[in-house]
Amino acid sequence: MGTVVRSGSRVLPWVAWLLLVFPVTATGPEVTRPEVDTTLGRVRGRQVAVKGTDRLVNVFLGIPFAQAPLGPGRFSAPRPAQPWQGVRDASTAPAMCLQDLERAENVRFVLNGKHQLFPISEDCLILNIYSPAEATAGAGRPVMVWFHGGSLVVGAATSQDGSALAAYGDVVVVTVQYRLGFLGFLSTGDEHAPGNWGFLDVVAALQWVQGNISPFGGDPNSVTISGTSAGSCIVSALVLSPLAAGLFHRAIAQSGVITTPILLDSNPRVLAQGFADSLGCRSTSSAEMLQCLRQMPKEEQILNIKMNMTAFYTIDGTFFPKRPMELLRERHFHSVPFLMGFNNHEFGWLIPRGWGFLDKMEQLSKEEILALLRPYLADLDVPPEVIPNIIDEYLGSISDAEAKRNAFQELLADMIIILPAMNFSRSLQDSGVPIFFYEFQHRPSSFAKIKPEWVRADHGAELAFMFGGPFLMDESSLLAFPEATEEEQQLSLTMMAQWTQFARTGDPNGEGLPLWPSYNQLGQYLEISPTPRVGHKLREARMHFWTETLPAKIQQWQQTQKGRKALGEL
């Protein structure tokens, strides 16, 4: 059975019948224990069912793609995994990379308490594989590699269950773990620790996929990288990095790009020194500092340092030879078909709650908003004196508390997610790269349990649909959506078909699917909802402000400053 395609606004009758054949259970029935030979050894997984289809999925969890980054491996590039003897069990969820479990628990809570939190360990460079059971070695199914979100400080490969996407899309899904926080991104700003270890991890994972995915039924010549939030930033980073050349063939970026303000640390030594000092590794020598950190015996000591919840990338000269914006301007990127977009309420609830100002948005003064915006706008080279123009553009003379909250949410989303994404897409488009853009607009019915009525398509709201949440057997899965309405089941089927069609052909259009024009000079994009439609020039007025009006105001301010300086020199 090929890619599942549906038309109309309701799930077709035979799908409803299949839902009766495969009733909801706590876990999918294990039919057999599939085994596959990799270049490092043999692995034994498990087989699961998916609601609404008779296609079974082979699941392999916790396959190492690199050695545990311990001791000398801390703050170093990943080293190839070592072979093993006998058959390695790959049927249970692996440990998550070292992270603050309190924050991870908070993420779990806001997602209705779903998904078990697994143990944490530095021995975490693993990947999970979900493959259609009939996709035997050499079957050549498209491969979709997924990078989880979590601000580069929390998250796990097991957070996203790829079984429904693999079954309905007839693709091989690979979810990847990478080092987080300071363990993933500490840099001394010199040759001793250039940084970007987490980015190097995902390159190593893609290299493993090239050499090993064929026995799982995947095609190493048809690899699509994809991710959300921080994972989406990783996707766009790989598109720009020379280290990723030839490792993928299409890209999907959901709600984030690497050019997002404040992600780049231009002076990483300061943070590294503070982190080392907190662990008793005070030294002005990078070599001595790293030697001390690598000898740190207990993971708990690192976890207790809350600075580990910080992660910034650097220009290391290897993964990033130059700043991402420079690479874009100079057209130094991999020209692959690109699908990208965001949700219509990115700062609706999840991010403001995580950042600690969810309940304050209606009361924030313009001065407080100015203080919140300053570090982000400094990254965009906006002088502090010009920032009030931005606040006036969005908030103006608004006094109504609800309207103020809405305007502030829109400002944050435009500045941190939408403007960078649209600028990134324009740079690719100018070079002739095929681009398909979307805005996800549906408020999931599951939001009623925990999120206020005014929250629309919040950050991450699309994931339960594109991963087939309504059809996951394991209801403890983070994205399981058993309460999905019939309309939402149809939306999930459509999105899975679009995403896997893009992975297969580089184009999300197909028989029975909504028309999705490329993001050309007309700025066409797809508004994704149960009643999808094609839109034009997404947020045109706001983007005009950021790309035309604001630069003109900055230039005017700069000219005024030059004039004052000239008068002062007379």
| Four-CA torsion 214, 218, 219, 225, nearest 10 degrees | -120
Residue 157 near residue 201 (C-beta atoms within 8 A): no
Is 459 catalytic? The answer is yes
- Closest by CA position to 303, among listed 97, 64, 77: 97
**Crossing angle of helices 197-212/230-240, nearest 10°?**
70
Q: Which of the following is catalytic: 159, 163, 232, 346? A: 346
> Which 3-state string (H, E, C) describes 176-210?
ECCCCHHHHHCCCCCCCCCCCHHHHHHHHHHHHHH
Q: Which of the following is catalytic: 187, 214, 229, 446? A: 229
- Helix ranges (DSSP H) in 245-365: 268-278, 286-294, 299-303, 324-329, 350-355
Tokens 């043999």 map to which residue?
42
Task: Give the DSSP H/E element, type plus range, for residue 556.
Answer: helix 550-569
Q: Strand 120-121 vs strand 524-528: parallel, antiparallel, or unpaired? A: unpaired
Q: Which residues pair with 175 in a beta bridge?
A: 128, 146
Q: Which of the following is catalytic: 148, 151, 459, 477? A: 459
Q: Which amino acid is at 164?
A: A
- Closest by CA position to 162, among listed 177, 172, 147, 150: 172
> CA-CA distance, 478 to 122, in Å (whole number)?
23
Is 229 catalytic? The answer is yes
Residues with a catalytic annotation lie at 229, 346, 459
